[in-house]
Amino acid sequence: MLKIINQLPIDSPSFSWKKTTPGKDVKVNEWIQSIHHLDKDEKQNDWDIVLMGVPLSRSSISASGASEFPEWFRRSWKGFNTYNLDEELDLRDLKVIDIGDVQMHYTDILLSHQYIKDAFHGVTKELAHSFPVTIGGDHSITAMLVKGLKETYPNEEIGILQLDTHFDLRDLKDHGPTNGTPIRNLIESGTIKGENVYNIGLHGFFNAPSLVEYAKEYGVNYITLTKARRNGIRETVEEALQVLAKKVDRIYLTVDMDVLDIAYAPGVPASTPGGMRTDELFEAVFAAGLHPKVGAMDIVCLDPTRDGTVQPTVKAGTHVFLSFLSGFYKRKK
């Protein structure tokens, strides 16, 4: 560093870019580490959580900007502390690495799907001790993620806990692997068994009767939101996990943000009236985080371009991530 720059008043209080050493308090953006900013020597760490973005939404049936969510998700971090006041725990004790976004091809959706599967297989194989969280993207990616996971653990039985307003059991013959098909995709490809899927949150008039029939035929389990509320959202999740845990080796949690009520989640193309409240969803994913067999998680179908300037849904999406981590923290610590 030559003289001319040395003489810049960068030690004066005028410049904010001279970062001070982080103290006790950090924001989420200061806590999660990006692979871009790691020094080489740091990369050897065992991470508790590995975070990966999948900016794909051309596979969505209706037009969606969910591909923008990974970027807005990261951008929202500075509005959150690491301290969970309800649970009196500090997520800072977890080591989290953000390995960036999986590369997408703009016009070859199946190739993008292949990239997703390969990336998730790589991550779960190479960082086997880290818990992987994927930020979508639309729901089509879940099929590829679970397939990638299955590639890593070919002998394991994988179960799905799905928080969703929809079954996502559409026929792939109609339009290929859209965001309406991931669960069917997994069943038909033999990756999972229908009976090892637990869907919580369905309600209203948002699923076609043929999908209900398919669910029944293949033993897909579902608990409507009304029933889940009657038993308690948290209790319902716990019971589903308990039953599922007896049948499978590893549980994959997929959160379709359209499970939320449209009043809470305007920024999801398929959110509906009569859906879940955000506090219920936070409770549900916290419970899932606690369970030892829950081994991977994704958050999908959140479209920040519909979320206005106040961004309630983006903030809810980030809170889902942190609430889940809080459960995970209590499981681990």
Interface residues for its own copies in 66-125 (CB under 8 A)? 66-68, 80-86, 88, 90-91, 99-110, 115-116, 118-119, 122-123
Q: Find out whether 166 is annotated in a ligand binding site.
A: yes
Asked if 184 touches its own copies (CB under 8 A), the answer is no
Residue 120 and residue 110: Cα distance in Å, rounded? 15
For 230-285, give the DSSP string.
HH-HHHHHHHHHHHHHHH-SEEEEEEEGGGBBTTT-TTSTT-BTT-B-HHHHHHHH
Which DSSP string corresponds to 304-315?
GGGSTTT-HHHH
The phi and psi torsions of 272 (rounded to 5 degrees) equal -135, 160
Q: How far is the CB of 115 from its own copies (least distance, A)?
A: 4
196 secondary structure, DSSP code:
G
CB 293 within 8 A of CB 196: no
Looking at beta carbons only, is 116 or 240 nearer to its own copies?
A: 116
Distances (CA, A) of 211 to 73, 161, 189, 277: 32, 18, 17, 25
Binder among 49, 192, 322, 327 for its own copies (CB under 8 A): 322
Tell me whether residue 256 is annotated as binding.
yes
In the complex, minimum distance from the CB of residue 248 to its own copies, in angstroms, rounded to a whole number = 25
Instruction: Check binding of 232 to its own copies (CB under 8 A).
Output: no
As a whole number of Å, the CA-based R_g of the chain is: 20
CB of 215 to its own copies, least distance (A): 10
> Smaller CB distance to its own copies: residue 106 or 154?
106
Contact string (CB under 8 A) for its own copies, positions 138-177, x = contact: --x---------------------------------xxxx
Report whether 307 belongs to an annotated binding site. no
324 is a site residue for its own copies (CB under 8 A): no
Provide CB contacts within 8 A for 122, sequence distance 6+. 148
1 binds its own copies (CB under 8 A): yes
Nearer to its own copies, 219 or 308 (CB): 308
Show contacts with its own copies in window 13-52 (CB under 8 A). Answer: 13-17, 23-25, 28, 35-36, 40-41, 43-44
Question: What kind and span of H or E run contains 295?
Answer: strand 294-300
Residue 258 among known ligand-binding residues: yes
Q: Closer to its own copies at the Cβ: 251 or 289? A: 289
Instruction: Please list every residue from 252 through 311 that binds its own copies, using CB under 8 A.
Output: 261-264, 266, 272-274, 278-279, 282, 303, 305-306, 308-310
By CB under 8 A, the residues from 187 to 226 that bind its own copies are 202-213, 224, 226
Which residues face 26 on adjacent strands?
Answer: none
Measure the CA–CA gap between 253 and 315, rounded to whole angstroms.
20
- Binding site, by residue number, is 139, 164, 166, 168, 256, 258
